[in-house]
Structure 1
Amino acid sequence: MSEKNVVLNPAKKNRRKIIRSIVQAIIVIFLAIILIRVVFLTEKRVEETVPLENKDGFIALSYFGVSRGESPKYVSKENLKKQLALLESQGYQTITQQDILDFYQKDKPLPEKALFLSFEDGRTDSSIFAQNIMEDLNYKATIFTYANKMDTRDNKFLKPKDLLLMEKSGYWELGSNGYRLTYINIFNNKGQSLGVIDENNVPNKTTIEYYNHYLMDFIRNQYMIPSETRQEMEKRIQKDYKLMQDIYEEELGEVPKAYAIMHSNSLYNNMDSLVERANNKEIKDKFKMHFNLELGAYNDADANLYNLSRLQVSPYWSTNHLMMKIRQASKQNVEFEVGDPKRAKEWSVMNGAAEYENNAITITSAPASEGRVILKETLPEQYNINFAFKGNVVGQQSIYLNYDEKNDSYIRVALIDNEIVVSEKTPESSVVEKGRFPLNEIKWNEEEYAFNKATVYNYQDTQKGSRIDKEEYPRNLTKTREFNIAVNKDKIMIDVDKVLSKTIQVNPDIQGSQIGFGAMFSTKETSHEQYADDIYDTFIEDILITDSNDRTLFTNQYTNFDKVKHKTMTFINSVVDFFIETF
């Protein structure tokens, strides 16, 4: 067996390595330039001149973060764009921190529809995904940060050099959420004290029953008795603000003007008076304004600069949900997103708001009432309807069958808090429940969802066990339920997810010939939720109504081509999201 002689040429090999390294360096530099241009703002914002005649007040909106796609924790880039674009189209102009100071201290008017926009927690994704949107709308926002996140290696949070570059662009101002996000006086659902834990180190959040934030109380022992003296508490709180101040002054040159404490709604509201006094002194010494509340979107001319309110926008809200919230808080005239005007003409909106887009209808209720839409087309006595409800589990999503608007009669099949509830209403009578059928339990990821449990509590409270029923779900949990309903003259047959099948007899006095859909918040009382939302969205997809001969009477489903296109884009986006989140 002969061997082939291989002549090694180290010089040639080294040249190839050098060339490859140079090419790689050029590619890296090129990508870095693109990233800097996209993310870190080479264009400067141009201030617009607008009439200043508003002496009434302004709305304030806050987002915790922005994700590339759908997320239970952060608003998607697409939804953020829709929401802000609709606000801009209706004349909302962003205002600065100085505008707010001048409004309260110098009686200087604001734009007619003044908007203070902010993003909390200092997340990198907020900068990446919000930047282009803000440039397109010429909007300006405040980015609130935790001081101790700025000197970590965690790339999820913006660093000082990034923040200074953002501020220089004119699209951003800087604000503070304080020094840290740390919990104290933690108790689990077994009544066991867990002490003080940083947010990143909290164990299974679903077992945490009571907690408070680091600045909101004395540190207490397992019996909820203070384990520090008043002087020690004051020294601890002063130290936290001093640590924050030192980092901001060293890294940014100054402490931001605006502050948003964690957690909201606690200061000046039933917290320990000594702790409140210690915080109040530090806040007024170091900041010019304080967004302490998140109870509503509107701040009127009589609001306190150190007790301002902002609306924290939930990721699962539709665009119209946000607009409904703004109308509720400010009494301003707002217009709702309609979507496809051709689709909209097929339906009548009886209450609330509705958006029609592709294969989906989004119904948003008005506060504490039901949103309802009715299909204008009349239907025969016998038909079949298929559709999917995709709203939050905690809430009421309804379909109205044999609907008669004139006589106010119908059969209602409602999905309420993961139960099917069938009711009927005959002319000139009240609603009568015909049957209630629980659906299979929904499994959910404890890392993705959290209950809102921060509250005022004592030792006796901590020993009562979980405040949450085992069948209770977090309000941001969604679940798709597929319905197939066969309507006949004397009965309806209901199938849900091919698991639940029920036949319900139809009262002959109910003789309507239309169908409709409804959305309403859940009236379930929960002790751990202090401020449950009374506005609700339901999402109805892939409606198909056929007659007894299987002929299509109505549909908003995708065509085969559109379905393939939609699935392809969904797959591509999921792959991109995977690589972004993983690498």
Structure 2
Amino acid sequence: MARTSKTKRIYRAQEADKKPELMNKDEKPAKKEKDPKAVKKIVRGIIQIVVIVLCFAFLIGSFFVKDDDKYKPYDGAFETAAASGVDNGFIALSYFSVDRSGTQYVFSQAQLKEHLRTLKESGYVTITQDDLKRYLKGEIYLPERSLFLLFEDGRRDSAVFAEPLLKDYNYIATMTSYAENLKTENSTKLLSGSDLEELRHSTFWELGTNGYRLSYINVFDRYGNYFGELPPPEFTQLRQYMRREYNHYLMDYIRDEYDIPMESNRLMRERVKLDYQEMEQLYQKYVGELPWLYVLMHSNTNQYGTNGRVSEENEFWIGEYFDVNFNREGNCFNEYTQNINVYDLTRMEPQPYWSKNHLLMRIWGDTGMPQVWQLGDATQAAFWTILNGAVEYEENKVNLTSLPNGTGKLRFKDETLEDVVVRVNLNGNKFGNHTVALRSSEGEDQYIRVVLKNNVLSIYERQKDEEESTLYTLDLDVHDGVVYQTMEEHRQESLSRAIKVKNRQTYKPEESKKIAKNLEKKKSEPLFYGSMPYVPDIQVSDPQDRKMEISLIGETLKVAIDGKQAARVSVTVKEAGSVELSCIWGGYGYMQRNLADDVYDGVFKDLMIEDVKTGEIKFDNRLQNEEMFADKLIAFWQSVLDWFSSMGKK
């Protein structure tokens, strides 16, 4: 296929290594040269010094704000909105955590930059808390694409890595935090009260609150073992053994191992009231005032708690202390009505694995407003027809995004492919459907499909005027030779880990040790299904990285996964056709945090399509040598910066 200069193949003949010439016996020995090892040490030392200096310069630049960098309000956009007299509503997006390199649950700065850049290019302007309050009172109209931007949990790294981006795009955001963390001066992870004051002074930040504390109550593992109350560090250590049998501190009564409330209505009300009072006192002490914007963690229950009476208590105190509350997660769109409940606003929490078009697709699904999809490399795009969803061609990746509750589909423009080899890395998430269709007719009434869905490989074919038939199915855990724990082994592991955590827990130590003793007794109790294998749930956020090679020649289809043959089947569809790529949303699936997402990204990386009969490479977006070298260099530099960041957190 034709390539841009960036990805054009370059073939260079390499010169043969020359052997060193032998010295003539009559020649005098040459003057002794410097020891090569010593020279290497000097060079390495110089490089290390340069790297250290650059890293410190970068970090210093990240923490200090230039005085002339100030947020500039979008006054003209508000005047235009007022003149139109059209109520556009607003979207609310909330990002939980950002650091330099990112993880499965944490945004990297680069990922956040891509999201914010996409929003900026799509015409979104941020609104302030004052804009929000006045709009909810019916006093003003908002610009057509208004965005209320939040960063939750009061994380220091979120502030450090988000602020330069807010400046770049002239965006203002609200930082919410927990009151109990305001007194943690010199914390490497959490923002203190003085830190929040500095953020507010920058003009790119406003302040909100998530309440007094982040704490989990009524925690049970998947086997019904009672862990009681867990602060965040302990919860993180044990979350792999849980499902959703837990709650947040203000959502329910404190319950015992039989799920029976351990507190009366009066004690529950006093506990909830105390949390709000202590929150106010700490904000007054360390910030000077209590923010009037609240984000209740974590309701999403169509009320203000999972229990009706607890909800009523929360509702009362929220009304006493706050003007606005974001109470729900999932939908990003909010709109003024005469009966609007300002304490039941909703926001969407983008995830690190979302592509740019995934973000836009979710916004489109919630608002119905037209979006300009990110296309990427137009040279690559010329080889394909988009049939469903949206697609971005990003270097060596084809990022295909499904419609909400639907599919994303691409069709290769060459309709003459009969015998082909397709090589591709299937990335994105394990939960969902990646499909490669071969010999696909234009009406899709005839095809051979290779599907990877929820870690299961399946092969289907369909002849014209016939139903689809299944040719082959393989669980890739079997392909990988995965040996599962038994349920009993996993239960014992859960108990052992929990006992250690509870015995070390400094929060309510007497109660924690009592729970640990009860867990010790549980270890000797038999589990009637203990010999059954423990198969972990696939979470919607679990990453996928599978190298697939498909060979279709004549009536034989072979599939290799990660370099190992996974399937060899006979097929009956013989007519030439095209290659199709598709991704299919697989349902809401399981996610411990219970975040709803109805869009799926199929990521097809290092895609190569070869016509076997002609030997022609029809499509190839793999990185070439010079590009791979550049990628490795960037990765090395990133690892150096990550090392310095980790040293700063110790």
TM-score, normalised relative to structure 1 = 0.87
> What SS does structure 2 have at the residue aligned with 1:335?
coil
- Work out the CA distance in 1 between the residues paired with 2:537 and 2:279: 39
Superposed, 1:162-311 pairs within 5 Å as 162-202=195-235, 203-209=237-243, 210-266=245-301, 268=303, 271-302=306-337, 303-311=340-348
> What SS does structure 2 have at the residue aligned with 1:52?
helix
Match in the other structure for 1:450: none
Matched, 1:362 2:403: no
Match in the other structure for 1:569: 634
Does the CA-based 8 Å contact 1:216-1:271 persist in structure 2? Answer: yes
Match in the other structure for 1:6: none
> What SS does structure 2 have at the residue aligned with 1:312?
coil
Deviation sequence 1:230-286 (CA, Å, 0-9, x none):
111111111111111111111111111111111130361772221111111111111
Q: Which moved more, 1:254-263 or 1:52-61?
A: 52-61
- Work out the CA distance in 1 between the residues paired with 2:545 and 2:100: 22
C-alpha RMSD of matched pairs (Å): 2.7
Deviation sequence 1:184-217 (CA, Å, 0-9, x none):
1111223121111211222421112411110011
Return the offset for 1:372.
0.7
Match in the other structure for 2:625: 560
Go from structure 1 to structure 2 and tell me whether the alpha carbon gap of 1:551 and 1:161 turns closer, same or farther (over 3 Å shift). Answer: same
Superposed, 1:476-515 pairs within 5 Å as 476-508=541-573, 511-515=575-579
- Work out the CA distance in 1 between the residues paired with 2:376 and 2:590: 35
- Work out the CA distance in 2 between the residues paired with 1:534 and 1:77: 25
- Work out the CA distance in 1 between the residues paired with 2:458 and 2:58: 56
> What SS does structure 2 have at the residue aligned with 1:177?
strand
Deviation sequence 1:92-129 (CA, Å, 0-9, x none):
11111111211121331111111101100011111111
Does the CA-based 8 Å contact 1:321-1:536 persist in structure 2? Answer: yes
Does the CA-based 8 Å contact 1:41-1:166 persist in structure 2? Answer: no
Does the CA-based 8 Å contact 2:396-2:606 persist in structure 1? Answer: yes
Matched, 1:523 2:587: yes
Partner amino acid, structure 1, of 2:219: I
Does the CA-based 8 Å contact 1:191-1:464 persist in structure 2? Answer: no
> What SS does structure 1 have at the residue aligned with 2:603?
strand
Go from structure 1 to structure 2 and tell me whether the alpha carbon gap of 1:407 and 1:396 turns closer, same or farther (over 3 Å shift). Answer: closer
Does the CA-based 8 Å contact 1:391-1:397 persist in structure 2? Answer: no
Q: Taking every aligned residue pair, what percent have the same amino acid on both sides? A: 31
Match in the other structure for 1:394: 431
Partner amino acid, structure 2, of 1:37: F
Superposed, 1:394-473 pairs within 5 Å as 394-406=431-443, 408-440=445-477, 470-473=535-538
Match in the other structure for 1:71: 103
Partner amino acid, structure 2, of 1:110: L
TM-score, normalised relative to structure 2 = 0.78
Return the offset for 1:473.
1.6
Go from structure 1 to structure 2 and tell me whether the alpha carbon gap of 1:443 and 1:252 turns closer, same or farther (over 3 Å shift). Answer: farther
Return the offset for 1:56.
3.6
Return the offset for 1:139.
0.6
- Work out the CA distance in 1 between the residues paired with 2:605 and 2:213: 42
Deviation sequence 1:370-400 (CA, Å, 0-9, x none):
1011111344422212111012111111111
Return the offset for 1:28.
13
Match in the other structure for 1:455: none
Q: How many residues align?
A: 538
> Which structure is higher in helix share?
2
Match in the other structure for 2:522: none
Partner amino acid, structure 1, of 2:204: Y
Return the offset for 1:531.
5.2
Return the offset for 1:511.
2.0
- Work out the CA distance in 2 between the residues paired with 1:409 and 1:224: 55
Go from structure 1 to structure 2 and tell me whether the alpha carbon gap of 1:378 and 1:111 turns closer, same or farther (over 3 Å shift). Answer: same
Go from structure 1 to structure 2 and tell me whether the alpha carbon gap of 1:154 and 1:545 turns closer, same or farther (over 3 Å shift). Answer: same
